[in-house]
């Protein structure tokens, strides 16, 4: 596994109701700053997005925000970060996040976060990238999503081995253990 420097964090632009989501987001930001992992994220100031940026900055870390111009023009960007990049579209933003990241962490979030997770996972599955992806499954938030992915494999839409393309982690330690042991391996997908 190549050395992981930049870590891209996907997360909700809301806080969610469970206070543990915010607590663990702040803990992750502090951990990433202390371990010298620059954070790549969507550049927003709201919700857990703003929290990951501010907790990393406050702990002396580096934050690269990548936001489409239309969201920035709505006043949604966090400007107190190391670098704020604007892109023309959401898709260009995701391409740039992939380019800058060595690994991905997915915190609790909504439809936007699901989309970012499944984009990076589906791109991994077709070898567009080989980077590790961790679902930070705080308080079992993602259990039903993981169950749906197991069902998808059981139903013949993906090989079971492709479940190993992401790490289902319930703590920061599990995320980084998973990264350290990650090997990108693809079985042949089209057997049925
Ligand atoms: P959601 O999980 O639905 O809140 O969406 C979060 C994801 O969608 C973020 O990672 C962003 O890519 C994008 N997004 C949604 N709302 C915002 C916002 N207010 N500021 C920046 N990005 C946003």
The residue-averaged pLDDT of 45-68 equals 98
Q: What are the tens digits of pLDDT across the range 5-38?
A: 999 999 999 999 999 999 999 999 999 999 999 9
Long-range contacts of 150-159 (CB under 8 A, 24+ apart): 156/192, 158/125, 158/189, 159/187, 159/188, 159/189, 159/191
Q: What span, in angstroms and rounded, lies between the C-alpha atoms of 185 and 31?
A: 28
d(CA 172, ligand 1 centre) in Å: 22
The two structure tokens encoding residue 58: 């406050």
Q: What is the pTM of this model?
A: 0.97
CA angle 168-180-188, nearest 5°? Answer: 65
* pLDDT tens digit sequence for 71-130: 999 999 999 999 999 999 999 999 999 999 999 999 999 999 999 999 999 999 999 999
Ligand 1 pocket, mutate which of 8, 12, 13 (most atoms under 8 A from CB)? 13
Alpha helices in the chain (DSSP H): 19-34, 47-58, 69-73, 90-100, 111-125, 143-154, 172-180
Nearest ligand 1 atom to alpha carbon 13: 4
Contacts of 152 (CB under 8 A, 6+ apart): 158
Q: Which domains does the chain have, with CATH numbers?
A: 9-180 (3.40.50.450)
């Amino acid at each position: 596994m190549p050395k992981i420097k930049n870590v891209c964090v996907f997360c909700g632009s809301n806080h969610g109701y469970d206070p543990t989501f915010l607590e663990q987001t702040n803990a992750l930001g502090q951990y990433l700053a202390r371990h010298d992992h620059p954070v790549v994220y969507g550049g927003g100031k709201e919700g857990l997005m703003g929290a990951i940026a501010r907790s990393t900055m406050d702990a002396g870390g580096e934050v690269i925000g990548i936001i489409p111009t239309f969201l920035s023009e709505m006043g949604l960007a966090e400007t107190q970060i190391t670098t704020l990049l604007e892109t023309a579209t959401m898709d260009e933003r995701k391409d740039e996040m992939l380019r800058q990241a060595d690994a991905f962490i997915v915190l609790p979030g909504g439809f936007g976060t699901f989309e970012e997770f499944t984009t990076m996972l589906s791109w991994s599955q077709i070898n567009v990238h080989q980077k590790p992806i961790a679902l930070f499954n705080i308080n079992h938030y993602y259990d039903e999503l993981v169950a749906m992915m197991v069902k998808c494999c059981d139903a013949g839409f993906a090989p079971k081995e492709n479940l190993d393309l992401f790490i289902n982690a319930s703590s920061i330690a599990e995320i980084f253990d998973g990264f350290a042991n990650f090997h990108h391996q693809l079985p042949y997908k089209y057997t049925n």
